[in-house]
């Protein structure tokens, strides 16, 4: 639970708060809330984050990082999110993601440059809603020939390469199956058909592959390992989204607590009203349950347990809870919270996207039910 942290994690949390106070908040106060973050400010955050020891937390020691476990990551991510600063997004260095176990050519030409910040990647998982077939590859000599499309590839426009989940057809070499393929963005046959933004402010692309040839040396691991590898990465990201959701709950509850205690035009603070208190109590109940789940799952992950089911449960609950908490906070604040640029308005858009990224809530529910009913896995 968040209150029974070992001394090391308490110190890490305190150092994160200090970093927010001395570095992130002053830098953020100098930039326009509606404008993109200037490159120079981003560089300053990265430099300060390196010096303070946060940047390398997401990076393996083999690449000069200080890789820490799930509980430490959870503590720092939640603390950063609780500050509700845009600059928090620049604190961590690039992690290995699905390339973690890459060897040989992929390690040298993709993983290592990614860790050095010289190359960036995107993740191509989601198929377009009207796709007649999943993205498929057939073997042709030393190449795979890929046909299909991926949508919602976040940052796909700027990425140097895309980690694409696809289906390899059976051949003389193997029985086929799902695979993860590393694809350079400028590969002939890869076309970015559409660029778009979602309401949380993030940008994505729709990309199509037409007879795109990629060497088989770009398959991560073996054919058939595609889904487990993708799922491992998604599992880590789900815990990170949950930590962010819980941090946002903390910020929102602090904000609304002040609002409910402040003078109101009716003559008494809104927090004096029983109906308001009932809503407020529900918000706190949800936040308490969400944080309890988050830290329990992080501890199980730290102990090396399989937390696929618990990670799903935590991601669904925390992202739905933060949606309800921010929605209630808006209601209690009144119309002013809907004015573009109000912090709750911005959070409302941001947290809505969380119920889709790394697995839509309903689909995750189906996976969770399957975990128990079909596979006899998962805890309560
Ligand atoms: C901000 C943002 C960033 C994203 N980044 C990426 C990225 O980098 N890479 C990537 O690959 N994807 C990304 N995605 C896509 C995201 O993973 C998908 O939106 C999500 O998995 C849902 O898929 P979908 O949009 O195709 O919806 P669909 O699969 O069409 O589902 C729509 C709805 O239909 C219902 N539904 C669907 N299937 C079932 C079922 N079997 N049973 C019951 N109900 C069902 C659910 O209510 C579901 O929410 C991103 C999305 C967002 C919003």
Contacts 24+ apart (CB under 8 A), 261-265: none
Backbone angles phi, psi at 97, to 5 degrees: 55, -140
Q: How far is the CA of 204 from the centre of ligand 1 (A)?
A: 14
The protein residue with its alpha carbon nearest to ligand 1, atom 5, reads 154
CA-CA-CA-CA torsion sign (74, 80, 83, 84): negative
pLDDT for 230 equals 67
Residues with Cβ within 8 Å of residue 162, at least 6 apart in sequence:
121, 122, 123, 124, 150, 153, 156, 182, 183, 185, 190, 207
What spacing in Å lies between the alpha carbon of 216 and ligand 1's midpoint?
29
- Are residues 169 and 187 in contact, defined by beta-carbon separation less than 8 angstroms? no
Residues with C-beta less than 6 Å from any ligand 1 atom: 122-126, 129, 152-154, 198, 200, 202, 353, 356-357, 359-360, 362-363, 366
Q: Give the sign of the dihedral formed by CA 288, CA 291, CA 295, CA 301.
A: positive
- β partners of residue 162: 122, 183
120 in Cβ contact with 155 (< 8 Å): yes
Q: Minimal CA–CA distance to 74: which of 291, 351, 345, 260?
A: 291
Predicted structure pTM score: 0.94
Q: Cα separation of 242 and 239, whole Å? A: 5
**What secondary structure does DSSP assign to 93-155, as a single string?**
PPP-GGGTT--HHHIIIIIHHHHHTS--EEEE-PPPTT-SS--EEEEETTEEEEEEEEEEEET
State whether residue 379 is helix, strand or coil.
Answer: coil
pLDDT given at position 160? 97
Ligand 1: atom nearest CA of 165 is 11
Instruction: Say what the pLDDT of residue 233 is.
Output: 73
Q: How far is it, in rounded angstroms, from Cα 261 to Cα 276? A: 11
Alpha carbon nearest to ligand 1 atom 11, residue: 125
Which atom of ligand 1 sits closest to the CA of residue 366?
42
CA separation for the pair 123, 140 (Å, rounded)? 24
Tokens of 35: 């404008």
For β-strands 136-140 and 161-168, DSSP reports them as: parallel
Per-residue DSSP letter, 21: I
Write out the chain's pLDDT in tens, 380 residues.
Answer: 788 899 999 999 999 999 999 999 999 999 988 788 999 999 999 999 999 999 999 998 988 899 999 999 999 999 999 999 999 999 999 999 889 888 899 999 999 999 988 999 999 999 999 988 899 999 999 999 999 999 999 999 999 999 999 999 999 989 999 999 999 999 999 999 999 999 999 999 999 999 999 999 999 988 987 677 667 777 889 999 999 999 999 999 999 999 999 999 999 999 999 999 999 999 999 999 999 999 999 999 999 999 999 999 999 999 999 999 999 999 999 999 999 999 999 999 999 999 999 899 999 999 999 999 999 999 99
Residue 209 CA to residue 36 CA, distance in Å, equals 31
Cβ pair 315, 238 in contact under 8 A? yes
Cβ atoms 144, 173 nearer than 8 A: no
CA of 67 to the centre of ligand 1 (A): 30
Q: What is the DSSP letter of 219?
A: B
Give the chain's radius of gyration (CA, Å): 22
Alpha carbon of 356 to ligand 1 centroid (Å):
6
Mutate-to-test residue for ligand 1 from 135, 312, 356, highest number of ligand atoms within 8 A of CB:
356
Residue owning the nearest CA to atom 13 of ligand 1:
152
Q: Whose CA is nearest to atom 19 of ligand 1?
A: 356
Looking at the DSSP bridge assignments, the partners of residue 219 are: 181
Question: Which residue from 154, 126, 55, 59 is spatially nearest to 97, judged by alpha carbons?
Answer: 59
- Among 129, 195, 357, name the best residue to mutate to test ligand 1's pocket (greatest count of ligand atoms within 8 A of Cβ): 357
Identify the residue whose C-alpha is closest to ligand 1 atom 37.
363
Pairing assessment for the beta strands 121-124 and 161-168 based on DSSP bridges = parallel
Domains detected in the chain? 2-95 (1.10.540.10), 121-220 (2.40.110.10), 227-373 (1.20.140.10)
Mutate to test the pocket of ligand 1, among 122, 123, 126, 150 (most ligand atoms within 8 A of CB): 126
Give the atom of ligand 1 at the shortest distance from the alpha carbon of 126.
11
List the structure tokens of 210.
């037409």
Whose alpha carbon is nearest atom 3 of ligand 1?
A: 357
Write out the two tokens for 349. 């858009």
């Amino acid at each position: 639970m968040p209150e029974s942290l070992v001394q090391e994690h308490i110190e890490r949390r305190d150092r994160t708060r200090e970093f927010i106070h001395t570095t992130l908040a002053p830098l953020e106060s100098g930039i326009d809330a509606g404008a993109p973050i200037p490159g120079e400010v981003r560089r300053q955050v990265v430099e300060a984050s390196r010096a303070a020891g946060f940047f390398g937390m997401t990076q393996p020691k083999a690449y000069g990082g200080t890789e820490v476990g799930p509980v430490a990551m959870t503590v720092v991510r939640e603390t950063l999110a609780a500050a509700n600063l845009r600059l928090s997004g620049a604190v961590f260095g690039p992690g290995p993601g699905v390339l973690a176990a890459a060897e040989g050519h992929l390690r040298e030409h993709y993983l290592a440059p990614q860790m050095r910040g010289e190359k960036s990647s995107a993740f191509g998982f989601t198929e377009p809603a009207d796709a007649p077939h999943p993205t498929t590859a057939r073997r042709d000599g030393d190449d795979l020939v890929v046909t299909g499309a991926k949508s919602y590839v976040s940052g796909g426009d700027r990425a140097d390469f895309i980690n694409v989940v696809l289906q390899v057809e059976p051949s003389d070499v193997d029985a086929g199956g799902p695979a993860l393929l590393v694809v350079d963005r400028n590969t002939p046959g890869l076309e970015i058909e559409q660029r778009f933004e979602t309401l949380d402010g993030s940008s994505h692309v729709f990309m199509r592959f037409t007879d795109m040839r990629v060497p088989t040396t770009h398959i991560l691991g073996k054919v058939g390992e595609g889904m487990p590898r993708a799922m491992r990465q998604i599992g880590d990201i789900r815990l990170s989204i949950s930590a962010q959701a819980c941090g946002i709950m903390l910020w929102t509850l602090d904000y609304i607590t002040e609002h409910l205690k402040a003078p109101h035009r009716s003559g008494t603070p809104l927090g004096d009203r029983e109906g308001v208190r009932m809503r407020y109590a529900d918000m706190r109940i949800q936040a308490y349950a969400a944080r309890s789940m988050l830290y329990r799952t992080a501890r199980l992950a730290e102990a090396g347990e399989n937390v696929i089911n618990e990670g799903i449960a935590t991601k669904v609950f925390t992202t739905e809870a933060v949606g309800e908490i921010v929605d209630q906070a808006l209601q209690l604040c009144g119309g002013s919270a809907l004015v573009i640029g109000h912090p709750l308005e911005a959070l409302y858009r941001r947290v809505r996207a969380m119920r889709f990224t790394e697995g839509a809530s309903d689909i995750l529910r189906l996976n969770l039910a399957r975990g128990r009913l079909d596979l006899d896995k998962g805890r309560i």
